[in-house]
């Protein structure tokens, strides 16, 4: 684990660049989740107070970008969108993929893709898993999603830690389902912060609180938790 990231890849490492933007070096690959690289700015109902800890150009080549959802600028801003669309592989949920266009590969919950490892023979498996962007009794869209479609991801392969990237999820029930269907998670990247918008869901948390994150780590069996 490291909090420092540059163009040189690690055998395994996770670094949070600010907000949800997370870099995972695994199996000889560099994967970036929810890229946000805009400078501080007013984003309408959200205000970005600080820029990323590392600029996009400083990361060097990336092998895949994971986008949990494309509708909220705190998870995919203008610079992040450009970065994601230029990646060799862009994975996201079906609705987000439809909006992002042909550069995006849609993954419904529990679907997987295999990516050739960068450190030798074999593949790294990337599995899409559910997420619930608000309380279980929240307002649902036409597809049945709270707030909007959000996708989490699980990275797994021989000889590397199994990594769960939660996306904007607030539900322990979803976490329990991931644990049941995927098995023990060694490293959990949890989008923590109890994000709230006064006009949505009566101000209730739209992502995990610190207390729920601790419970999620226990449910997953994760020995390492990275707060994003």
Q: Where are the domains of the chain?
A: 12-227
Cα(105)–Cα(92) distance, integer angstroms: 6
Q: What is the pLDDT of residue 63?
A: 98
**Phi and psi at residue 124, to the nearest 5°:** -100, 130
Q: What is the pLDDT of residue 47?
A: 63
Cα(96)–Cα(88) distance, integer angstroms: 17
Q: What is the pLDDT of residue 188?
A: 97
Instruction: Assign 217 to helix, strand or coil.
Output: helix
**Phi and psi at residue 219, to the nearest 5°:** -60, -40
Beta-carbon contacts of 15 under 8 Å, excluding residues fewer than 6 positions away, are 2, 3, 4, 5, 22, 23, 54
Cα(21)–Cα(85) distance, integer angstroms: 15
Sign of CA dihedral 189, 192, 196, 197: negative
Q: What is the pLDDT of residue 43?
A: 60
For 12-227, CATH gives 3.60.15.10
**Residue that has been written with the tokens 């609180």 in this structure:** 209
Cα(169)–Cα(147) distance, integer angstroms: 11
Helix axes 172-182, 210-220, angle to 10 degrees: 20
Q: What is the pLDDT of residue 1?
A: 40
Q: What is the pLDDT of residue 164?
A: 98
How far is CA 180 from each of CA 62, 76, 81, 165, 219, rounded to the nearest angstrom?
31, 29, 33, 16, 9
pLDDT tens digits in sequence order for the chain, 228 residues long: 444 567 788 999 999 999 899 999 999 999 999 999 987 676 666 666 677 888 999 999 999 999 999 998 889 999 999 999 999 999 999 999 999 999 999 999 999 999 999 999 999 999 999 999 878 888 888 888 988 899 999 999 999 999 999 999 999 999 999 999 998 899 999 999 777 777 787 878 888 999 999 999 999 999 999 998
Q: What is the pLDDT of residue 46?
A: 61
Tell me how many degrees the CA angle 38-199-195 measures, rounded to the nearest 5: 50
**What does pTM read for this prediction?**
0.93
Beta-carbon contacts of 191 under 8 Å, excluding residues fewer than 6 positions away, are 20, 68, 166, 167, 168, 169, 207, 208, 228
């Amino acid at each position: 684990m490291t909090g420092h990231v540059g163009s040189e890849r690690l055998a395994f490492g996770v670094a949070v660049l600010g907000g949800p933007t997370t870099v995972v070096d695994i199996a000889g690959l560099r994967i970036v989740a929810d890229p946000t690289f805009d400078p501080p700015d007013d984003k309408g109902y959200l205000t970005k107070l600080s820029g990323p800890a590392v600029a996009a150009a400083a990361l060097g080549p990336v092998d895949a970008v994971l986008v949990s959802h494309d509708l909220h600028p705190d998870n995919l801003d203008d610079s992040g969108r450009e970065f994601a669309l230029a990646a060799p592989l862009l994975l996201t949920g079906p609705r987000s993929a439809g909006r992002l266009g042909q550069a995006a590969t849609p993954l419904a919950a529990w679907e997987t893709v295999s990516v050739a490892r960068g450190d030798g023979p074999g593949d790294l498996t990337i599995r899409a898993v559910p997420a619930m962007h608000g309380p279980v009794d929240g307002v649902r869209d036409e597809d049945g999603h709270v707030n909007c479609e959000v996708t989490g991801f699980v990275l797994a392969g021989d000889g590397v830690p199994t990594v769960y990237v939660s996306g904007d999820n607030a539900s322990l029930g979803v976490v329990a389902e991931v644990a049941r269907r995927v098995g023990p998670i060694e490293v959990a990247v949890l989008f923590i912060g109890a994000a709230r918008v006064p006009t949505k869901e009566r101000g209730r948390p739209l992502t995990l609180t610190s207390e729920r994150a601790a419970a999620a780590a226990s449910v997953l069996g994760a020995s390492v938790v990275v707060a994003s």
